[in-house]
Amino acid sequence: MRVEWAGSGPELLVTIDRGGRTGLRAQLEEQLRMAIRTGRLAGGEPLPSSRELARTLGLSRGLVQDCYAQLQAEGYLTSRPGAATRVAATAVNRPAAPRPEPAAPAAVRHPVADFRHGVPDLGLAPREAWAWAVREVCRTAPNAAFDYDDAVGRRRLREVLASYLARVRAVAATPDDLIVCAGMQQALSLVVTALAGEGIGALAYEDPGSGAAVTELAAAAGLAAVPVPVDDDGLDVAALRRSGARAVLVTPAHQWPTGVVLTGSRRRELIAWARDCRGLIIEDDYDAEFRYDRDPVGSLQGLAPDCVVSLGTVSKSLTPALRLGWIVAPGRLHEALARGKRLADRGSPGLDQLALALLIESGRYDRHLRRARAEYAARRETLVAATARHAPHLRLTGLAAGFHAILHLPPGAAEDRIIEQAGRRGVGLYGMAPLHHRAANPPPRLILGFGNTPRRAIEAGLATVADLLR
Amino acid sequence: MRVEWAGSGPELLVTIDRGGRTGLRAQLEEQLRMAIRTGRLAGGEPLPSSRELARTLGLSRGLVQDCYAQLQAEGYLTSRPGAATRVAATAVNRPAAPRPEPAAPAAVRHPVADFRHGVPDLGLAPREAWAWAVREVCRTAPNAAFDYDDAVGRRRLREVLASYLARVRAVAATPDDLIVCAGMQQALSLVVTALAGEGIGALAYEDPGSGAAVTELAAAAGLAAVPVPVDDDGLDVAALRRSGARAVLVTPAHQWPTGVVLTGSRRRELIAWARDCRGLIIEDDYDAEFRYDRDPVGSLQGLAPDCVVSLGTVSKSLTPALRLGWIVAPGRLHEALARGKRLADRGSPGLDQLALALLIESGRYDRHLRRARAEYAARRETLVAATARHAPHLRLTGLAAGFHAILHLPPGAAEDRIIEQAGRRGVGLYGMAPLHHRAANPPPRLILGFGNTPRRAIEAGLATVADLLR
């Protein structure tokens, strides 16, 4: 139905659907709101009287009056005694600036094989176990579990994690040393903020490594980020000493990306460094659950709880979609970290925390890890065998733990070109060059992630790589 | 079994349990680690040879060698060719500083009634609906749902929220305008950081209001926080203009704590202010789901999407334990907010996001709200009736929405003293004085939260208050 306004403005099309699920008043209100927002009803424009509009639309006058009152309370309309209700001047001709279309995501498809790293087997995600744990929590938790809680995390989960980490990672921690957080990213973000509060001005990181991400995060907290080289024994502690930094981020269990395990003597040197400068070692214990040939190397934290902050996550062991992780920190950082977490988000989701605690306590977490470990071990063997078959002249290193390995290309091979050519053949490859920060001309190497790469794809992918190198 | 070390150190008690679930080597390793950590084995101390220890404990020599090698790799032991394996000097006599016992939480119990505010009825928490939604997500979501995702949130949830907020709150937003985050706290934290990035140096807040929390959060981002008074029409916009701040945090739907609804003309003034100074209005839409006498007043954001940031959460509508909320922001802030969220935690939990989307889509969210609204409405009536019965001379205001009201005490009554006396009688009361920032001598008022206060408790609590005022 077309409504002629009393003023000089255009007609307005109002459609009232009497059989619809939405109430008559809500329909009228919504259409007037939209007309005002989009500028079809201009600011200052007088509206028909409620009597007139009610008659035109076949509605009760009270309904139209209610509708006008509502829009007036919301600021869309104005009225003065004795004058017509008008469209408010504020509301008009200011449509939100159109958002530019987001750039199409780099939807690269790799139908043959994708050696993307840093992601576990998504097909193994613990669907049933997680649904079970959440249901149990919802069924049995006391009402208080649905309230806010201490920002550092649910007591129950911190207890379970402290004992689990002691058993599996030789971590030395009480529940009070633990802060539950949203995965590795938040763990690092809270830690760098706490470092800044300690007066630490620079954070060293491993080169090659996650320098770009670390630099961005450190800068947000006002810290400089300093690369320190990694050799076959892990981080070069002498170079760290020379850097002058008083904090360092390391991946001792399985250096990212080289896969080197930090040796026992380097561990001791590193701790001596931290004690000398009253510095802090931040241990990213990201891959420790998956070690194949022998037992995992215990955490650095257990050796020196006074100067090591250990960070863990379930992103690799369960799924990144849970966004749960933890920080084990020396006492001197605890207050700053707890405050940081409170300011950041007032604590991680309580139900998820209780579900994770239950998953670990019930043995389902370990069972899931065993299953995943067996699968990754099989893929690792496939990778080794496929390399031996298709490219026996190439070295494969960094296989002690985790789910990626380094394939050393022949000297002079062009990392970039091979990645690009493989992409055209449906094989997703990722090079190591972008993870170097100082090396002018690093040797050509590929990081072959096999966490989410099926065995058949590994085989086919290696064949393609070998073919391209021919 | 007691093991005599080759060196001068004390004996060490090693217990090997052959029937236990833990492997023999793990048992030995763990006991050596603990002995070293606790200083029972001192740094530099030589260990017995693997042959000797194996004989003493009745274990195979290979097992003891493996154990030594593991502890060496972890940095607990050192060995040099031709010399005895020794305890590393680093690992010793440096037990973590004992953490002071945390102060006992203020475990105030209020057996008669607790008028704590800001928390919904925990007994109404949607236990079954949430467990159902998580199970459905785990059962049906594609594998990709278990991967990392865009930090601004799952597309599905942003679509569902955009349409839900348009319907229920008259919010004008596309899914691209939404950022999913961890409740109101993270929403505010991300917004103040983005404001700082825009060169905005001061954030105004309502007085009385959440000034203490806002000031702490603003300071963390380098912003000053400026109180602006609230009167019976809501925020005093003329005072805001004089303050010079270019951003303001407001609670238009139900001012916290007075309960005043921001009038239509104040809404327009506020928007005019923002456009004049190219400032931003941050709308905390915290109580909007619960309005009793009439339809909720639409969001301020819908009226001026170009200068209003609207923040929402499920903490009141479902439970604070989910830690899920959202930001609807104008385009100019979007990039900074998305980057902030990525740096903060790389996105909120994906499974929870999908479960919330499903809850809304399936109609269970609305059904839950209807049930909760009916319960709160009944309590509100109980509160009004109990006040009329026990303290008819006292005014009760701010009842238009939400689940708290303001009880105006007689002039000259001592807010503090009454709260303390009520506490001793098992009634938890909370005063308004701490929420005032400039008023030297605010009138005595109580904030009576009834979100998590049963009807019977409301009745008994009011009787106590009346008795204390007698």
CATH number of the domain bearing residue A310: 3.40.640.10
The domain in which residue B395 lies consists of: 113-118+369-469
A90, A130, A177: best to mutate for the B interface, most B CBs within 10 A: A90
CATH number of the domain bearing residue B430: 3.90.1150.10
* Alpha helical stretches, state H, B150-210: 155-169, 183-197
CATH number of the domain bearing residue B90: 1.10.10.10
Tokens found for residue A173 = 């921690």
Number of domains in chain B: 3
Q: Please say whether the beta carbons of A397 and A255 come within 8 A.
A: no
Give the domain-ending residue among A343, A362, A381. A362
**Residues B66 and B46 reside in one and the same domain:** yes
Give the domain-ending residue among B335, B362, B389. B362
In the predicted model, what is the mean pLDDT of residues A429-458? 94
Chain A's closest residue to B73, CA to CA, is A264
In the predicted model, what is the mean pLDDT of residues B84-93? 74
In this complex, the residue of B183, B265, B298 whose CB is nearest that of residue A346 is B183
**Residues A342 and A374 reside in one and the same domain:** no
ipTM, 2 decimals?
0.88
Residue A292 falls within a domain, yes or no? yes
- What phi, psi does A250 have (nearest 5°)? -130, 160
**Residues B27 and B166 reside in one and the same domain:** no
Residue A107 falls within a domain, yes or no? no
Does B185 sit within 8 Å of A148, measured CB to CB? Answer: no
Q: Please say whether the beta carbons of B300 and B252 come within 8 A.
A: yes
**Residues A50 and A155 reside in one and the same domain:** no
The string of pLDDT tens digits covering residues B262-291 is: 999 999 999 999 999 999 999 998 777 788
Residue B347 falls within a domain, yes or no? yes
The string of pLDDT tens digits covering residues B89-122 is: 775 444 444 455 444 445 568 889 999 999 999 9
The string of pLDDT tens digits covering residues B343-356 is: 999 999 999 999 99
Residue A36 falls within a domain, yes or no? yes
**Residues A57 and A140 reside in one and the same domain:** no
Residue A114's beta-bridge partner residues?
A428
**Residues A322 and A237 reside in one and the same domain:** yes
Residues of B in contact with A302 (CB under 8 A): 33, 37, 74
Distance, CA of A114 to CA of A277 (rounded, Å): 44
Distance from CA of B130 to the nearest CA of A (A): 8
**Residues A200 and A289 reside in one and the same domain:** yes
Residue B104 falls within a domain, yes or no? no
In this complex, the residue of B264, B330, B352 whose CB is nearest that of residue A352 is B352
In the predicted model, what is the mean pLDDT of residues A173-179? 96
**Residues A282 and A415 reside in one and the same domain:** no
In this complex, the residue of A134, A216, A343 whose CB is nearest that of residue B217 is A343
Give the domain-ending residue among B320, B337, B362. B362
Asked whether the predicted pLDDT for residue B375 surpasses 60, the reply is: yes
- % of chain A with per-residue pLDDT over 70: 93
The letter for the amino acid at A10 is: P
Residue A106 falls within a domain, yes or no? no
Whole-structure pTM value: 0.89
Closest CA to A418 of A432, A405, A404: A432
**Residues A356 and A374 reside in one and the same domain:** no
**Residues A349 and A381 reside in one and the same domain:** no
Q: β-pairing, A113-114 with A427-428?
A: parallel
Closest CA to A278 of A306, A299, A250, A301: A306
Distance from CA of A127 to the nearest CA of B (A): 5
Residue B358 Cα to chain centre, angstroms: 23
Closest CA to A165 of A286, A294, A299, A363: A299
Tokens found for residue B365 = 């969210």
In this complex, the residue of B30, B181, B321 whose CB is nearest that of residue A146 is B321
Residue A104 falls within a domain, yes or no? no
Does B272 sit within 8 Å of A172, measured CB to CB? Answer: no
Chain pair A-B, CB pairs under 8 angstroms: 285
**Residues A73 and A134 reside in one and the same domain:** no
Distance from CA of B230 to the nearest CA of A (A): 17
Q: Which of A75-84, A169-178, A334-343 has the lowest mean pLDDT?
A: A75-84
The string of pLDDT tens digits covering residues A202-252 is: 999 999 999 999 999 999 999 999 999 999 999 999 999 999 999 999 999
**Residues A61 and A177 reside in one and the same domain:** no
Distance from CA of A371 to the nearest CA of B (A): 17
